[in-house]
Structure 1
Amino acid sequence: MNILFVDQTAKLSGGELALLDIVTPYKDGSKVILFEDGPLRAELVKRQVKVEIIIPNGALNNIRRGSRIPMASITSLVRLARSVAQEAKNFDFIFANSQKAGLISVLAGQLASKPVVWYLHDILNSEHFGKAQLLAARYTARKSTQILVNSKSTKEALQILTGRNDNTHLIYNAFNTKPFVQTANSQENQREALGFDSRPLVGVFGRLSPWKGQDVFLRTLAMMPAVHGLIVGSPMFGEDAYAQHLEQEIKTLGLENRVKLLGFRSDIPELMKTCDIIAHTSIAPEPFGRVIVEGMLSGRPVVASKSGGPNEIIENGVTGMLYTPGDSQALQSVLSEIINEPEQALLMAQRGRETALNRFSLDNMHKRLDDIITVCFNQQKTTLCGESV
């Protein structure tokens, strides 16, 4: 089976990390097209995956989640779709891994007469996207042969927006557990290197974005003078102003000696094991929440906002703790509970790790994906598959 994978970005965000694990078993005879160069291309090359960069003009690159789509961008989009369609002639089908890639891929699929699988990693609602982006998503959903979703919450939002329920398959993100299993737990040495002492350390991981709620975390720490904080991640998609806002908030709240912003890091397993607690702080519904599972794999108690994907990952009070999104006092309460009850926290962390190992393994994901691809495309009948939930 020869697959043409398409993704709009080469940054290592959640959807792109998922793509890395999806592509690898299909790398022989397949290819990835990216619309920019960056760390993802380097990771793909390292895994011996064929990659091609097709750079669109600036008009298309400048489209943001809440912006309009000008005519210049539409013209660029059509040109890009033609380029992808030319490549697609040599493959069995197109696998689109993002919204922009999905729109371009369905256009290319029509030009090249190829089926399209769209892997949706976003909750499609007005909290996350503007009217133009939601309109494009409706079109993409209507023209996609099959749609994969990363959570029930993502699927529900898709159904509300588009009414589509057929040929829609739930495939949770999966994880390579080796980096978490093999990482030596040199917590004290790592803390000392980072400039922290033995006081409780809470870590927040992920891209810096207003809806990810790192500012909620800072307000929470301002109420917990005996707790230190670690924020790991960098801004993407034009959100640099938010990173500057966080730096200012740290100063305003007097947290300079207790909170560190590390920016983008590749040693996530090591850093997570350095922390006592992993916190997820999104204020809008999270499509999935990779850092939640990574925290569980690290053997640390995980606290997450109770909205979207986290509800499907965590059993509250058993494998982690959930709290009301955006409520800094609620976050302070659950963090304090974990800190003050270390034996219960350890048991919860152990249960969380076992759950993550069982539910989000690469083997399970690959078998699920392979079944869908085999049934739907090897027989060259794109309407063969029924709904999968």
Structure 2
Amino acid sequence: MRVTIIGHTARESGAELALCRLLGAVDRVRLGIDVVLFEDGPLVDRLAPLADVVTVMPLARRAAGLTRGQVHGLRSIAAAPAAAALMWRLAVHLARERPDVVVTTTMKAHVIGSAAAAAVGAPLVWHVHDRIAPDYMPAPLSKLLRAAARVFPRAVVANSRATAATLPGVRNLVVAYPGFSTSQAIADPASHVAPARPVVLLLGRISPTKGQLELARAMPSILARHPGSTFRIVGSPIFGGEDYAGKVQQAVRALGVSDHVTMLEAVDDPRYELDEATVLVHASPVPEPFGQVVVEAMVRGVPVIATDAGGVPEILVDRSSRPLGWLVPPGDADALAAAVIDVLDQPAEARRRASEAYAAAHDRFRIELTAELVTTVWRRAGRRSRGSPRA
């Protein structure tokens, strides 16, 4: 079976790294993988050993730089010709390659890839990593994507139940959590030893949706109780987050906590940062679709504090409704500070929850489970209505 996977970015963000883990776990003997990206970048080299072919089909800058907050304005009108030109090139590519199924993985890929797949009659699957909701993107865009999801794809894969809930009326909707690979996990959660001085870690791209500012505002209260604490904010400002990064740095200075804060660029391998942390903080002030960094911490034996919204509660509450970490209201810096203090005050309880979280992650989020479910969706969607073999 031939699968063409389409994404718009070559930067290594959450959905793109999830795709790499997925392709590393699928049955490459029975699946041929062709990846098309709308830009060149680090992801091309990472995908090269995981796919038969990685094709870069550049999207013109005026369209490539369009953020989800700009799609309903004049910039989207100016970008339309570039998007239409890429759709045509992509349709020609699909007509030549004749994949059994086309899989789109990002919002721009859903829009452009749906039109291209429809033009050549190729079966289509959307793999959705974003909540299609007005609190996550402009209302006109969410309405457009919801309508398109009911028309174009034969099946939709959502990365959480929270994401799936934003796609009402969509047929053949399946939830497949982003899985972790064996190399990301430690062998025994008890082998994670908290450092002598507390280290509070926030790991993720610098963005208003990730909560670095909320953590900064929580720092004075944490330091009043545990003055030896240090804070590590690890990530880079991609997708237009540079101005926000400046606001975080300004807040750290204004709050007088600079001596306790280290801000680092994104790291290729977060395992060292996790292994040196006392607690991981996921502080997103908006409901996130999933929260892969939460699972990454769980399989390293690190206690987790996260916001109680979006897909995160699906991760941090087990099948019997027991908490596997600490959940706090989004955007509430005081509640975040109280949860960090609770973790630092109760190390035995933190270790207990971390151990249970480790076991739950292995039960529910292994990449092998994800790969089996997703490839089943691909095969079902890719069955040709006339049953004819590929030429």
The alignment's TM-score, normalised by the length of structure 1, stands at 0.90
Point out the more displaced range, 214-223 or 68-77: 68-77
Note the C-alpha offset of 1:267: 2.3
Equivalent-residue separation in structure 2 for 1:58 and 1:381 (angstroms):
40
Deviations along 1:175-201, one digit per CA (max 9) or x if unpaired, are 11313327997979xx7xxxxxx3211
With over 3 angstroms needed to count, the CA separation of the structure-2 counterparts of 1:230 and 1:317, relative to structure 1, is farther
Q: Helix, strand or coil for the counterpart of 1:215? A: helix
Equivalent-residue separation in structure 2 for 1:115 and 1:71 (angstroms):
28
1:181 aligns with 2:190: no
Task: Identify the residue that residue 362 of structure 2 maps to in structure 1.
Answer: 357
Q: Helix, strand or coil for the counterpart of 1:223? A: helix
Match of 2:172 among 164, 167, 172: 167
Contact kept, 8 Å, 1:285 with 1:308, in 2: the verdict is yes
Contact kept, 8 Å, 2:117 with 2:123, in 1: the verdict is yes
Q: Helix, strand or coil for the counterpart of 1:257? A: helix
Note the C-alpha offset of 1:134: 2.2
Note the C-alpha offset of 1:26: 5.7
With over 3 angstroms needed to count, the CA separation of the structure-2 counterparts of 1:355 and 1:183, relative to structure 1, is closer
With over 3 angstroms needed to count, the CA separation of the structure-2 counterparts of 1:148 and 1:256, relative to structure 1, is same
- Percent of pairs identical after alignment? 28
Note the C-alpha offset of 1:357: 1.2
Contact kept, 8 Å, 1:183 with 1:270, in 2: the verdict is no
Contact kept, 8 Å, 2:155 with 2:173, in 1: the verdict is yes
Note the C-alpha offset of 1:131: 3.8
1:84 aligns with 2:93: no
Paired positions, count: 370
Deviations along 1:108-129, one digit per CA (max 9) or x if unpaired, are 0111111111111111122221
Match of 1:221 among 219, 222, 234: 219
Deviations along 1:2-31, one digit per CA (max 9) or x if unpaired, are 011100101111111111123332655321
Task: Identify the residue that residue 208 of structure 2 maps to in structure 1.
Answer: 210
Misfit runs of 4+, over 6 Å: 182-188
Q: Helix, strand or coil for the counterpart of 1:157? A: coil
With over 3 angstroms needed to count, the CA separation of the structure-2 counterparts of 1:139 and 1:105, relative to structure 1, is farther
Equivalent-residue separation in structure 2 for 1:381 and 1:171 (angstroms):
28
Q: Give the 5 Å matches for 1:119-158.
A: 119-141=127-149, 142-158=151-167
Note the C-alpha offset of 1:246: 1.1
Equivalent-residue separation in structure 1 for 2:100 and 2:308 (angstroms):
40
Point out the more displaced range, 273-282 or 370-379: 370-379
Note the C-alpha offset of 1:282: 0.5
Contact kept, 8 Å, 2:5 with 2:36, in 1: the verdict is yes
Task: Identify the residue that residue 117 of structure 1 maps to in structure 2.
Answer: 125
Q: Give the 5 Å matches for 1:262-277.
A: 262-277=264-279
1:10 aligns with 2:27: no
CA RMSD of aligned residues (A): 2.1
With over 3 angstroms needed to count, the CA separation of the structure-2 counterparts of 1:30 and 1:232, relative to structure 1, is same
Letter in 2 for 1:9: T
Match of 1:254 among 237, 253, 256: 256
Task: Identify the residue that residue 387 of structure 1 maps to in structure 2.
Answer: none
Q: Give the 5 Å matches for 1:39-54.
A: 39-47=42-50, 49-54=52-57
Equivalent-residue separation in structure 2 for 1:244 and 1:49 (angstroms):
41
With over 3 angstroms needed to count, the CA separation of the structure-2 counterparts of 1:19 and 1:165, relative to structure 1, is same
Contact kept, 8 Å, 1:231 with 1:259, in 2: the verdict is yes
Q: Higher relative contact order at CA 8 Å, sep ≥6: structure 1 or structure 2? A: 2
Deviations along 1:36-89, one digit per CA (max 9) or x if unpaired, are 111211111243542111111122112111112533311111111111111212
Contact kept, 8 Å, 1:318 with 1:351, in 2: the verdict is no
The unaligned stretches of length 5 or more in structure 1 are 192-197, 383-389
Note the C-alpha offset of 1:287: 0.2
Point out the more displaced range, 19-28 or 48-57: 19-28
Contact kept, 8 Å, 2:157 with 2:374, in 1: the verdict is no
With over 3 angstroms needed to count, the CA separation of the structure-2 counterparts of 1:47 and 1:3, relative to structure 1, is closer
Q: Helix, strand or coil for the counterpart of 2:267? A: coil
Equivalent-residue separation in structure 1 for 2:10 and 2:128 (angstroms):
17
The alignment's TM-score, normalised by the length of structure 2, stands at 0.89
Deviations along 1:234-283, one digit per CA (max 9) or x if unpaired, are 11211210111111111111122111111111120111010010110001
Q: Helix, strand or coil for the counterpart of 1:147? A: strand
Letter in 1 for 2:88: R
With over 3 angstroms needed to count, the CA separation of the structure-2 counterparts of 1:136 and 1:115, relative to structure 1, is same
